[in-house]
């Protein structure tokens, strides 16, 4: 049976470190600040935002949620982003997705100052990551690296396979693994004989968005499996007829893998705490850049 990599324990460890960083900044008269723009009607989004705001409050990070009306226009949102870009009390700006259908979400996301892009998805930050320059890294990929390192997994020299090529998870985690000296293969929906490739992985990251599609047959014995997926699937035995599932079929995978992240409780807890890490990092980087001008 595989070792369970408990994301909650690792997130709690990082939370203590962030709390110390925030306290040190506040002694200097600096309070990091995060603003979330919630302009969408996805029923899950308010819960996600509340969890982020709660963590800010716990850590002593100034937080604000802006909730424009349902008929808000792209131009109105761009004006809000412009105001936040200019506000020195705001270190991080997070655009909660998905947005209302009438919004040009790409325009809004690209309008965020890269120095305040705590989601790490602006092309400037993507370029910084690709070229190993200082910048803000997408929260989930950064959390995956923390899980591996803090669990004692050797990345350097390992064969890593990432399944999924999204701009938010797949591509950045592939780059982060490469920077840690892994040999990386990035797979996707057009990859031929996927299982033959994933079975070569010492570290397998599943981020394809298809619940329980990676079974034990896809996994090299003893491999470390990181499951990024989060889907609700029907389950008559569950209290509400639904349960959370990852992209990995946990029962068969855990019988083969050496270590595995569960869903829930694996990668998920790292995503929120890495958002806090990015907010503090943005606060430090912005002030350092201002001093060097």
Q: Provide the b/e sequence for 156-169 (b: ≥16 CB within 10 Å).
A: eebbbbbbbbbebb
pLDDT of residue 41: 94
pLDDT, averaged per 10 consecutive residues of the chain (293 residues), comes to 96 98 95 97 91 96 97 98 97 96 96 97 96 95 98 98 96 98 97 98 97 97 97 87 93 98 96 97 88 72
Q: Which long-range contacts (CB under 8 A, 24 or more apart) does 134-137 make?
A: 134/285, 136/278, 136/281, 136/282, 136/285, 137/172, 137/176, 137/278
* Segment holding 82, helix H or strand E: helix 74-86
Domains and CATH numbers, the chain: 29-113 (3.40.50.10860), 139-268 (3.40.50.720)
pLDDT of residue 232: 85
pLDDT of residue 240: 84
Catalytically annotated residues: 52, 96, 119
């Amino acid at each position: 049976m595989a070792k369970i990599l408990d994301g909650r324990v690792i997130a709690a460890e990082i939370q203590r470190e962030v709390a110390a960083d925030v306290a040190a900044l506040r002694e200097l008269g600096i309070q990091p600040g995060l603003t979330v723009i919630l302009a969408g009607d996805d029923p899950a989004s308010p819960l996600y935002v509340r969890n982020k705001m709660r963590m800010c409050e716990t850590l002593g990070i100034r937080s604000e949620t802006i909730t424009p009306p349902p008929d808000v226009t792209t131009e109105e949102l761009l004006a809000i982003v412009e105001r936040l870009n200019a506000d020195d009390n705001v270190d991080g700006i997070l655009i909660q997705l998905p947005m209302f259908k009438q919004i040009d979400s790409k325009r809004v996301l690209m309008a965020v100052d890269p120095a305040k892009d705590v989601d790490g998805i602006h092309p400037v930050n993507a370029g910084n990551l690709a070229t190993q320059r200082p910048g803000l890294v997408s929260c989930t990929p950064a959390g995956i690296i923390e899980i591996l390192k803090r669990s004692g997994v050797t990345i350097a020299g390992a064969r890593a396979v990432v399944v999924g090529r999204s701009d938010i998870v797949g591509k950045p985690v592939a780059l982060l693994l490469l920077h840690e000296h892994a040999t990386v293969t990035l797979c996707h929906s057009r990859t031929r004989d996927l299982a033959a490739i994933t079975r070569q992985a010492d570290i397998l990251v599943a981020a394809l968005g298809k619940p329980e599609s990676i079974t034990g047959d896809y996994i090299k014995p003893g491999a470390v499996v990181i499951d990024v997926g989060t889907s609700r699937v029907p389950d008559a035995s569950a209290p509400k007829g639904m349960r959370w599932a990852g992209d990995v079929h946990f029962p068969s995978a855990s019988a083969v893998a050496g270590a595995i992240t569960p869903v829930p409780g694996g990668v998920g807890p790292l995503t929120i705490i890495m958002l806090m890490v990015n907010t503090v990092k943005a606060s430090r980087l912005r002030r350092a850049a201002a001093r060097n001008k």
